[in-house]
Structure 1
Amino acid sequence: MNPARRCSALLNQLCSRGGPTARGRFSPGPVSNPAGRRFSGAGGRQMGVDGTRPPLTPNGTSARTAATVCPMGGSSSRRLFGTLTQSLNSPTLAQQDLYREESPEQDLDRDLTGTDPDQLLRECQHALQRRPARLRRDLVQPGGTAPCCHEHNPSIRVLQWNILAQALGEGKDGFIRCPLDALNWQERKYLILEEIVTHRPDILCLQEVDHFYDTFEPIMTSLGYHGSFLPKPWSPCLDVEQNNGPDGCALFYRSSRFSLQAVSHLRLSAMMLPTNQVAIVQTLGCRATGRRLCVAVTHLKARSGWERLRSAQGADLLQSLRRITSRGGGQSEAASASVPLVVCGDFNAEPSEDVYRRFSSSPLGLNSAYKLLSSDGQTEPAYTTWKIRPSGESCSTLDYIWYSHDALRVDRLLNIPTEEQIGPDRLPSYHYPSDHLSLLCDISFREEPHGLSVTAALDQ
């Protein structure tokens, strides 16, 4: 069955199943996802360099399989999903080679919009009416920065978030102070969507996405975004009995704001050996300014004891980013200069780790946006994740938005909730759908030296 027909079949199944109480899980069985890959558990496979099993074979064969699409919930959601059929017929679904470089899509300028974001926000609020209202977080201006309001150089809103894979939240992570019903996907997904739609980013970088094809891709496409998804070669979600497929990274951009120049899907290496962590890199053309922007999303190896591996993964990613951003691509001399860079991700590393030092001292000239919230502009927030597990309480800064400080400026940042706002049971909770906080910043291009412009180099 071709990808488009498979998506239609899945959408029909999606809309025909599921009410407010449906759990939306399939029992293990040989069901394929929209991209035609099987999601399977492991049976005696050799462990990899980072302590994980090796990736699936191209045919996806294994001891057990548990792929699923999960319905959005009640009748209002089924009505919403009924408008999304055309968005599922996307070239992304037909990807065969995960770790590759893509040419720009040929049909990205078509009108992909079809869902009113205000209507979707109302649907989210209706679905969440039994929960406490989402706590407001304010956008603040970094000290000493004048707001950018030039009509020809509007700010670009970037949202970074580890949204917590559903299979991990319910099946492995052990959030002992979080009520089980707060983790119910039938409501938690609306809390995630509410956060995204409220802020309406131009660029959205997500980690731990295990509901890409049935939730995030169709909804974001209907809102006018184009997205890429790259699963981990061997996702820990697959060890959960009733999973929804592997988790991975997703990167969306608003197609009315950007044109796609190129995409690279990377599997990160360490000591010249492939690991279980990945990255997506997109080179975008800004329609408002005519300038290019390179955006990357990644999720490095978790847990203590793997600091050297994270450092090696970071070094590998930086090397790839130097190669990608320094390409001339046959453009003019102005366009062949290094492309400004934004790197988002859950690095699973505190600022004291070597991988953090690698990024802060890289020849790419990167700075961490959230340092600008501090009084001296040099200190990261006290936490971006705060959770309680059986092993104890963990309060850490692991998530970052890196940017080229010579070419880009940070205009505003979404503030970090206080300890009182987070609450004694920490994350996740009824207020917060993930164990990580979302990070958001508005960035803009700095003036180019000598007044150079690459507008002519971009296809408007």
Structure 2
Amino acid sequence: MNPARRCSALLSQLCAPSRGGTAARGPLFPGTGSAPGTRYCHSAVGGGEGGLKRTCHQLKPSRVSNTGAASVCPMGGSSSRLFGTLAQSLTSAPLAQPEAYPEENPDQDPEELLRECEEALQRRPSRPHRNLVYPSSMAPRNKHNSSIRIMQWNILAQALGEGKDGFIRCPLDALNWEERKYLILEEILTYSPDILCLQEVDHYYDTFQPIMASLGYQGSFLAKPWSPCLDVEQNNGPDGCALFYRRSRFSLQATAHLRLSAMMLPTNQVAIVQTLGCRATGRQLCVAVTHLKARSGWERLRSVQGADLLQSLRSITSQRGHSRLEEAAGPVPLVVCGDFNAEPSEDVYRRFSSSALRLNSAYKLLSSDGQTEPAYTSWKIRPSGESCSTLDYIWYTHDALSVDCLLDIPTEEQIGPDRLPSYHYPSDHLSLLCDLSFREGPTC
């Protein structure tokens, strides 16, 4: 697509209502064994800030394979205050002034808002049940040092899911935005992260930004310069990365919007980097979200993009204040979330694991030896064949931060024979989630 065509397509979308189809008629999930109107939900176990206890039928707990976990508990709790804004914001045109969105309203009735969600999704089966896993190798946490919950997720751009990706085993009506958006938002709010890192976001201004703002989050969005979404008719604009943090827990210290380069040339991949101040502890945390180049054959480019990002992160995390106390604290602890489109065997993975930033991959702690990534974070079937890959990661500064728990990976049986996306799961990538705490010591 030439620049003039891209600009024309973008302008036409910014002036048009948000994209969405009509709800499909007839049964949405024939043959699944779940009757329409029946949804199975998680029960709450604390659920974090704004958690909600849900009195729905409990699914059979999933198996946790290849893990040395000390204990497992059912994950749940939905901060579904979100859904009071759905009737207005999800059907509105994109809004260009993020600061105009309302603050979190604690007076909303979560039970009533939950019913709105369940009504919208009553013809769909529930998402795969997942457990919180507490790795046996985790360091003891200071009882006064509350965890920071991080979620990483490639949510699948709507234009790509319907128009380009070719998920041959996923019916088109399962990708209908008018229902799929509820599945995405239900997933996010069930786990109530303090920091949320998303890729392939093409409904930022008309969906995610207003809803997350109403829940007390501050958001930042950076589109790809040449988004493939713009090649799809009736697109909703370019896709990109988004980063949200809970305003009650963090203050924003600095933001960097990066366009990743390769050998001094700008590429189509981007990253958002924000330095946050933790209100409770006074400590700083640097968070980055990125989405590297996809497809086989581009391994070298991903490696160079990763090197460019690491160089920027080294510079950003070394920039503390000028007081002696801040200088003695050393580099700011770092969390990097993203769809790297790279298996652990690729060079870009080795770059991150051996970086001077002292990064470790959180999801290795699900394995029995603490050194092996999950078997998959994405599982899809396209015309070219079936792809079961580990592509998504949460990296963290291992000597400044500790992992308290992780959300486990659904089993093959839970995912189902048609793989992802599906009627019960909205993306071709699984969400990743972990609780991190600041370690005691001079690096903090």
* TM-score scaled by length of structure 2: 0.80
Aligned twin of 2:171: 179
- Cα deviation 1:151-172 (Å, max 9, x = unaligned): x310000000000000000000
Q: Do the aligned partners of 1:66 and 1:243 also contact (CA within 8 Å) in 2?
A: yes
Q: What is the aligned counterpart of 2:297 among 302, 305, 308? A: 305
Q: What is the aligned counterpart of 1:403 among 388, 396, 403? A: 396
Aligned twin of 1:253: 245
Partner amino acid for 1:201?
P
Aligned twin of 1:325: 317
Q: 1:149 to 1:137 in 2, by over 3 A?
A: farther
Q: 1:376 to 1:358 in 2, by over 3 A?
A: same
Q: Do the aligned partners of 1:384 and 1:398 also contact (CA within 8 Å) in 2?
A: yes
1:333 counterpart SS class: helix
Shift of 1:431: 1.3
Aligned twin of 2:25: none
Gapped regions of structure 2 (runs ≥ 5)? 23-81
Q: 1:89 to 1:172 in 2, by over 3 A?
A: closer
Q: Counterparts of 2:272 and 2:370 in 1: how far apart (Å)?
A: 29
User: Where does 1:11-410 land on structure 2 (aligned, <5 Å)?
Assistant: 42-43=1-2, 60=7, 65-67=12-14, 68-70=16-18, 80-82=86-88, 90=97, 111-113=103-105, 119-145=112-138, 148=141, 150=143, 152-334=144-326, 337-410=330-403
Shift of 1:253: 0.2
2:185 counterpart SS class: helix
Q: Do the aligned partners of 1:295 and 1:343 also contact (CA within 8 Å) in 2?
A: yes
Q: Do the aligned partners of 2:95 and 2:206 also contact (CA within 8 Å) in 1?
A: no
1:280 counterpart SS class: strand
- Cα deviation 1:309-329 (Å, max 9, x = unaligned): 000100000000000000123
- Percent identity (aligned): 75
1:421 counterpart SS class: helix
2:259 counterpart SS class: strand
Q: Do the aligned partners of 2:19 and 2:235 also contact (CA within 8 Å) in 1?
A: no
Shift of 1:330: 2.9
Shift of 1:231: 0.3
Q: Do the aligned partners of 1:71 and 1:214 also contact (CA within 8 Å) in 2?
A: no
1:440 counterpart SS class: strand
- Cα deviation 1:367-408 (Å, max 9, x = unaligned): 000000000000000000000000000000000000000000
Shift of 1:180: 1.1
Shift of 1:83: 8.1
Q: Counterparts of 2:402 and 2:268 in 1: how far apart (Å)?
A: 33
2:135 counterpart SS class: coil
Shift of 1:197: 0.5
Q: Do the aligned partners of 1:113 and 1:221 also contact (CA within 8 Å) in 2?
A: no
Q: Counterparts of 1:69 and 1:373 in 2: how far apart (Å)?
A: 43
- Cα deviation 1:240-275 (Å, max 9, x = unaligned): 011000000000000001011011000000010000
Aligned twin of 2:62: none
Q: 1:188 to 1:64 in 2, by over 3 A?
A: same
Q: Do the aligned partners of 2:276 and 2:284 also contact (CA within 8 Å) in 1?
A: yes
- Cα deviation 1:82-119 (Å, max 9, x = unaligned): 4899x9684579xxxxxxxxxxxxxx9x9544666655
Gapped regions of structure 1 (runs ≥ 5)? 1-41, 46-52, 94-107, 454-460
Q: Do the aligned partners of 1:141 and 1:147 also contact (CA within 8 Å) in 2?
A: no
Partner amino acid for 2:298?
W
1:328 counterpart SS class: coil
* TM-score scaled by length of structure 1: 0.77
Q: Do the aligned partners of 2:85 and 2:214 also contact (CA within 8 Å) in 1?
A: no
Q: Do the aligned partners of 1:141 and 1:412 also contact (CA within 8 Å) in 2?
A: yes
Aligned twin of 1:421: 414
Q: CA RMSD in A?
A: 2.8
Partner amino acid for 1:306?
W
Q: Counterparts of 2:89 and 2:308 in 1: how far apart (Å)?
A: 41
Shift of 1:78: 8.6
Q: Do the aligned partners of 2:152 and 2:338 also contact (CA within 8 Å) in 1?
A: yes
2:403 counterpart SS class: strand
